[in-house]
Amino acid sequence: MCNFRYQSTEYAGVSKTKMMKELFERPQYQTTTPAYEQYAVEHTSPETDLMQQLIRETHLAVTTPGMLSGLLQGRLLQMLSHMIQPELILEVGTFTGYSAIYLASGLAPGGKLHTVDNNPEVAHIAKKYISESGYEDRIVTHQGDAMQVIPTLQGPFDLVFIDADKENYLNYYLTVLPMVRKGGFILTDNVLWYGKVLNENALTDKETRGIVAFNSFIKEDTSVEHLLLPVRDGLMMVRKK
């Protein structure tokens, strides 16, 4: 278990705006130019104080903070959840709780979100921010192998968000699809995988091969309608017929 503790003194004299700008000054995704993405960020509802703190703590505590969905996708997930008003959501890949909080904000009254992750070293961060978000009684966290946890859950799900180990994307999809109600949605992150899906010479790692196999399967799956949205690192949106 990571013993990270947030130290507010490290940010003494640094404005919140400057800190957030520094956190997001990293190579942009190839589906947009930095200027376009920055314009979109500036014209999108900003992160709440709680979510800004979650982002800062994630950047300090882990070596892969890029696994956070980010403002544009986070707000997109929130908008979709509010439009669908799901009674039951499944998330595969909790990380530090960022996307779970945004998704839970659109739950119908009495709704629940089940989120699964197999990394106990960041579980304490997710638990902390889920508790502070006010959705603690609506978010159920599960630790363990998602392929073992998912079959123990009771559907049908209105909305599923897959954002875990990429080599298992197709396995997750095939497992959850029967558990999704007719007209329900499955969202899958990172389906462009930093542009590697376009490069045949990049199909040397299991993550890239897993995403390409998933995308190819969805393309031919007549049981669903699908849209690959080039936001951030690519978001596959699937609606079960």
Domains belonging to the chain, first-starting first, are 71-240 (3.40.50.150)
Average pLDDT over residues 65-84: 93
The predicted pLDDT at position 17 comes to 57
Is 96 in contact with 50 (CB distance < 8 Å)?
no
- 136 in Cβ contact with 163 (< 8 Å): no
- Model-level pTM greater than 0.85? yes
Structure tokens at 183: 């007209």
Tokens of 65: 């903070």
- pLDDT for 16 equals 55
Quick one: which of 210, 214, 212, 209 has its CA closest to 224?
A: 214
- Whether residue 106 contacts residue 185, with contact meaning beta carbons closer than 8 Å, is answered with no
pLDDT exceeds cutoff 50 at 4: no
Q: In the beta sheet, which residues pair with residue 140?
A: 114
Residue type, 163: D
Rounded-to-integer distance, Cα 170 and Cα 195, Å: 19
| 151 preceded by a cis bond (ω within 30 of 0) | no
Q: Minimal CA–CA distance to 16: which of 63, 38, 62, 48?
A: 48
Structure tokens belonging to residue 194 = 């930093």
Largest CA distance in the chain: 56
The pLDDT > 90 percentage for the chain reads 75
- The per-residue pLDDT for range 170-229, each reduced to its tens digit, is 999 999 999 999 999 999 999 999 899 998 887 889 999 999 999 999 999 999 999 999
The predicted structure's pLDDT at residue 178 = 98
DSSP 120: T
